[in-house]
Amino acid sequence: MKIMTARLGEVEIDTSNIITFPDGIIGFPDFKRYIDLDFLDDSPIRLLQAVDTPDLGFFIVDPRLFVPEYIIDISQEEVKSLNAEKVDDLEVKAIVTIPENPFDMTANLQGPLVISRKAKLGRQIVNNNQKYNTKHKVLHGSHAVGVSK
C-alpha cells in the first residue's frame, strides 16, 4: 500500500506493520493507525506516521539512548490491553520535538508510547514517575543522538 507523508513524500508500506493506537495519541484521538518509518540514515530517530493523513507524524526515539535508567510506571492492565504477557514484550518510545536548532531537541518522557510489535497495538501512557517531564533535553554538550552539527 502507498501512503503520502508530509516529511517523506509517497512511501510504500506493508499493511501488516500498521500499529493501531485504539485511543489515538494524546491530542489526536481520531487518528489510530500509524506506521514506524526510517527517517534519517544511521539515526535512531524514526518517524511514526499516521496512515490516514499525510500531515500527522511524530519523531520518536528509544528514551534509553539518552536516559539509560529510564523506567515507566505501567500497570498490568495496560500490559494486557496491548495483548502482551509481560512488560518485556513491549517497546517504549518517546516523542521528540526537534526545533530549528536540533541541539535543543526535547523528548516527552512523561507521556511515552508503549508498543506491542507482536500484537501491532500501541498506547500512549502517562508515566507517573515524577522524575520525568514532557520536555526532557535529549542532547547534552556535543553528544548527539542521530544529529550531526
Q: pLDDT per residue over 103-124, tens digit each?
A: 999 999 999 999 999 999 999 9
pLDDT tens-digit profile of 18-37? Answer: 999 999 999 999 999 999 99
Do residues 120 and 19 make contact, with C-beta atoms less than 8 angstroms apart? yes
For 126-149, what is the mean pLDDT?
A: 73
Q: Dihedrals φ, ψ of 41, to 5°?
A: -60, 140
pLDDT interval class at 141 (50, 70, 90): low
Q: What pTM did the predictor assign?
A: 0.90
Q: Which helix (H) or strand (E) holds 78?
A: helix 76-81
Class of the CATH domain delimited by 2-137 = mainly beta
Amino acid at 23: D
d(CA 79, CA 27): 22
